[in-house]
Structure 1
Amino acid sequence: MISLTVKEIAIAVGAINDTNQWSDREITSVNFDTRKLVKGSLFVPLLGTNDGHHFILKAVENGAAVSLWSKSLNDLPLELEQEFPVIQVNDTLKALQDLAAFYLTKVAPKVVGITGSNGKTTTKDMTDAVLSSQYRVHKTQGNFNNHIGLPITILEMPIETEVVILEMGMSRAGEIKVLSDLAKPDVAIITMIGESHIEFFGSRAGIADAKMEICSGLKENGVLIYPGEEPLLQEKVTVLKESQLKTFGTSPENDLYPLEIDAQMNRTSFITNERPDLVVNLPVLGTYNVNNALAALMAGMTLGIPIEKSAPKLAQFQLTKNRTEWLKGINESSILNDAYNANPTAMRAVLDNFSTFTNTGKKIVVLGDMLELGDQSSELHLRVKDSLDPARIEKVILYGEQMTVLYEALKGTFDEESLFHFIGAKEPLIKFVEKQINPGDYILIKSSLGTDLLSVVRSLQV
């Protein structure tokens, strides 16, 4: 529970009206969604598809104790005049962000910011586990990682929080700079540079520039943790002092790297150069998740937590839903659901891992379009071809117009009984996949969220 008075809020957001008569009223939560308001809330009416100001009466009904307001006070409903406190500002979104910055200063936790083309949510969850071994931690929930979600995350932070972990997402240049300048990280993590949103940046170099914006608000002696084998970052991190840089990756050139990795269907374990005598266990599949864990462990080390103390917490961490999870499927099959996000690098990584599993039935992959790849879409979809081996995967089922180029390229590799392509309505795809599944089969389903293969997952799940 947070604790702010109307007086504190009014000062933080630069109120342009007199709120003195309400100055001692306490606020214990903040939200822009009237459905999530509780007694004692501050309501933040935002301008979007709908104008939040139109819902002020509903906000009061649901427990709001005060509201921000960017319209004329004469626009308040008559029944609220003189009876309900509003804090008038020029821009409610800017006021929300200013209030978050104020509250962050009031609580004064260490701040860990996380961004990257892939793996940032998993790394956030792992970092939470690592840091919870020593600190009271608050983290971004779900995908609340943009210019609205990040300040809300801060404002949901209990007053006793010692470390806050903030995921930072973006689709355009400049967006992470805004988040970093607000959060002012003590530790910044870049998980990887991939191809997500390349449509808006033109190249991976452009994406690397955007991810480096996380350093914009980095505190004077803050630390950047990044993949040391990424050349696009090696040329850009020179803006920081050497003492501010920590690297992770697979090779010995990094500050933290694995000496051995053992990847299984439901877990992955490894040992590091930091503690060769200590096995780190992860309750998730994928050698690619080792890098995420290394970044989390490095964040812990940076904040004074030795690996031997944090590693046991990693063995129990909870992965955010829809991130590479095994589900029970129809006909006694197993579904590997990874249909929340996709880019070529991530798709190849999970395919390479999935291909190594041993099972009693077939291995089937259902791959959907990867979105926001712009004019490089065809080339980037084609890159997935090398991770599809007919000796290890029995059936490839592709969905979406962007997958057409991969379908054509695979015709020379897979026979007509093993390669299929669907466009349009999901029902024919679902019915077809249902007929392919037998006991012991493994089915990998991966795509961008906008492709909506999650609906296929739900249909095939027991």
Structure 2
Amino acid sequence: MKFQLRDILEITGGELLLQTNTSGSFTVSADTRTVSPEEIFLPLVGAKFDGHDFIKTALDRGCRGYFIDKNHKNIVDSHAGAAKFVIGVDNTLESYLKLANANRRRINPIVIAVTGSSGKTTTKEMIFSVLSQQYKTHKSKLNHNNEIGLCQTLLNMPDDTEFLVIEMGMRGLGEIELLSKYAQPDMAVITNIGTAHIGRLGSMENIAKAKCEIVKYLNEEGVLISYNDELVGKTLSWNGKAIYYGLTNNVEIIKSDFNASQFVYKNNTYELNVSGEYNITNALAAIEIGKLTGVSSDNIAKGLAQYKPIENRWQILELINNIKIINDSYNANPDSMKASIDATISSYKNSKIVLVLGDMAELGEHEDNLHREIGIFLNDKKVFEVIAVGEKAKLITKTIENQEIKIKSFSKNDEVVEYLIDNIESNSVVLLKASRCMSFENIAEGLQKIGMDT
């Protein structure tokens, strides 16, 4: 969205600290790598960076003006020769959010916010695929689910947007409430409450509290769509309309194998081009959103059938000798790791299952026990081999008592690639699952040396 300078001052409550030429209209950029003369540079401040240090870079690239917060007003004079105007605000992130919210209110789409411990990106993508069958729909890119991502999503929204689907993540209490305040959702989705971020929040109860903040600024006439989770029911403070879903409610799974699923939900049949019960669960939220927004049953089914996983989420590589690599390594927590393992085993019953499991991050003081629990979980599973990568992942192997499961441990990804290239057997299915910090996409890339099945 382009703003007149007077509108920016009114929306943010800012003041002009320097002005020589304020004509024209402007968009806002927080990235000096892409800033242009038609943009105002907005320097954000984080725990390990300060965007104010890059004001000169923005000006060198042609930017005419910039924002500055109350703690940096002393540097205005140092850029006086290059800048045409400077806007002083109390807090640059808050100003960014206010500008984004102004565009949200101007376009006024129906806003759907999605959060949860896992599955939120997949659910967001499924909802988008369903809604876009009938409506002009905009969404958060990839997993741009923090304050900066929200601002970018709202400010880049096309003027004709009818529905907006936003993913909301968090690192602690209060963060989803902040996102909800500026997104002003009309519908809110909670996919589940799990152990992701337990290291930051300390308990499942606090995780539930953080996720349930999504209803704080939910439209009073809006709708909550939530997985039927006991912790949500105990924690939620919402008196409006609510819909709860789950695999035990009106769901019949017809098949979930290889790279496809088929199921019946409330007398309608749907298909997905991904397997796993957890993906069917995610699809239920998209179906409920579709029904609430008037999408026809045929278009809901069409939207789900057209959904495709993104960015290291259940991406399947077909190699020679009937070897398959399932790259589901974008991120991991104990719940999503167990779900991926179950989906792999149930989808490839006649294959040799090789699990390459890496460290799971942000589990805090619980991390050792939660890694050990994965090993216990594997004891009654039909698995050919478990390969642990990383110091914490080695704990998984310590609690595997099933003597039929081969066990290997490595410290580096390239060691895993070398081992598998030398030892992988035909008709094997290799699941890659770890937290993002483990960079398992490098393993997936390295294993392509085995040879793609053409």
- 2:366 equivalent to 1:376: yes
Are the aligned partners of 1:6 and 1:22 in contact in 2 as well (CA < 8 Å)? no
Q: 1:91 to 1:378 in 2, by over 3 A?
A: same
Q: 1:61 to 1:333 in 2, by over 3 A?
A: farther
**What's the RMSD between the two structures over aligned residues?**
2.3
**25, 40, 43: which one pairs with 1:42?**
40
State the distance in 2 between where 1:32 and 1:223 align. 33
- Residue equivalent to 1:183: 183
Residue identity opposite 1:272 in structure 2: Y
Residue identity opposite 1:231 in structure 2: E
1:427 positional shift: 2.7
1:90 positional shift: 2.2
Equivalence map 1:130-169=2 (5 Å): 130-169=130-169
- Residue equivalent to 1:5: 4
- 2:434 equivalent to 1:447: yes
Q: 1:258 to 1:38 in 2, by over 3 A?
A: farther
Are the aligned partners of 1:111 and 1:186 in contact in 2 as well (CA < 8 Å)? yes
1:337 positional shift: 0.5
Cα deviation code 1:370-392 (max 9, x no counterpart): 11112222332233235436873
Task: Name the SS for the 2:8 alignment partner.
Answer: helix
Q: 1:414 to 1:6 in 2, by over 3 A?
A: farther
Equivalence map 1:204-283=2 (5 Å): 204-228=204-228, 230-237=229-236, 239-241=237-239, 243-252=240-249, 257-273=250-266, 276=267, 278-283=268-273
- List runs of 5+ in structure 2 lacking aligned partners: 450-454
Residue identity opposite 2:428 in structure 1: D
State the distance in 2 between where 1:160 and 1:251 align. 39
Identical aligned residues as a percent: 33
1:316 positional shift: 0.8
Equivalence map 1:7-406=2 (5 Å): 7-17=6-16, 25-27=24-26, 29-38=27-36, 40-48=38-46, 49-62=48-61, 64=63, 66-70=65-69, 71-72=72-73, 74-81=76-83, 84-228=84-228, 230-237=229-236, 239-241=237-239, 243-252=240-249, 257-273=250-266, 276=267, 278-329=268-319, 333-358=323-348, 362-388=352-378, 392-406=382-396
1:430 positional shift: 2.5
Are the aligned partners of 1:258 and 1:270 in contact in 2 as well (CA < 8 Å)? yes
Q: 1:65 to 1:272 in 2, by over 3 A?
A: farther
Are the aligned partners of 1:361 and 1:438 in contact in 2 as well (CA < 8 Å)? no
Q: 1:378 to 1:418 in 2, by over 3 A?
A: same
State the distance in 2 between where 1:399 and 1:52 align. 36
Q: 1:272 to 1:371 in 2, by over 3 A?
A: same
State the distance in 1 between where 2:381 and 2:336 align. 21
1:333 positional shift: 2.4
Q: 1:430 to 1:263 in 2, by over 3 A?
A: same
State the distance in 1 between where 2:191 and 2:406 align. 35
Q: 1:18 to 1:59 in 2, by over 3 A?
A: closer
State the distance in 2 between where 1:360 and 1:251 align. 27
Cα deviation code 1:226-264 (max 9, x no counterpart): 012x11112233x322x5101111123xxxx42334112
State the distance in 2 between where 1:388 and 1:295 align. 29
Q: 1:18 to 1:194 in 2, by over 3 A?
A: same
1:57 positional shift: 4.0
Are the aligned partners of 2:348 and 2:429 in contact in 1 as well (CA < 8 Å)? no
Are the aligned partners of 2:19 and 2:86 in contact in 1 as well (CA < 8 Å)? no
Are the aligned partners of 1:7 and 1:24 in contact in 2 as well (CA < 8 Å)? no
- Residue equivalent to 2:409: 421
Residue identity opposite 1:408 in structure 2: K
Cα deviation code 1:238-292 (max 9, x no counterpart): x322x5101111123xxxx42334112111121111xx2x321112121110111
Q: 1:361 to 1:236 in 2, by over 3 A?
A: closer
Are the aligned partners of 1:31 and 1:44 in contact in 2 as well (CA < 8 Å)? yes
State the distance in 1 between where 2:19 and 2:10 align. 11
State the distance in 1 between where 2:78 and 2:343 align. 58
State the distance in 1 between where 2:124 and 2:347 align. 27
Runs of 4+ in 1 over 6 A off after TM superposition: 18-21
Deviates more, 1:310-319 or 1:375-384: 375-384
State the distance in 2 between where 1:406 and 1:159 align. 50
1:293 positional shift: 0.7
Residue identity opposite 1:47 in structure 2: V
Cα deviation code 1:290-331 (max 9, x no counterpart): 111111111222222243332212211232211111124476
State the distance in 2 between where 1:113 and 1:407 align. 38
- List runs of 5+ in structure 1 lacking aligned partners: none
1:406 positional shift: 2.0
Normalised by the length of structure 1, the TM-score is: 0.89
Task: Name the SS for the 1:304 alignment partner.
Answer: coil
Residue identity opposite 2:43 in structure 1: P
- Residue equivalent to 1:460: 447
1:112 positional shift: 0.7
Are the aligned partners of 1:34 and 1:58 in contact in 2 as well (CA < 8 Å)? yes
Q: 1:88 to 1:354 in 2, by over 3 A?
A: same
Deviates more, 1:336-345 or 1:258-267: 258-267
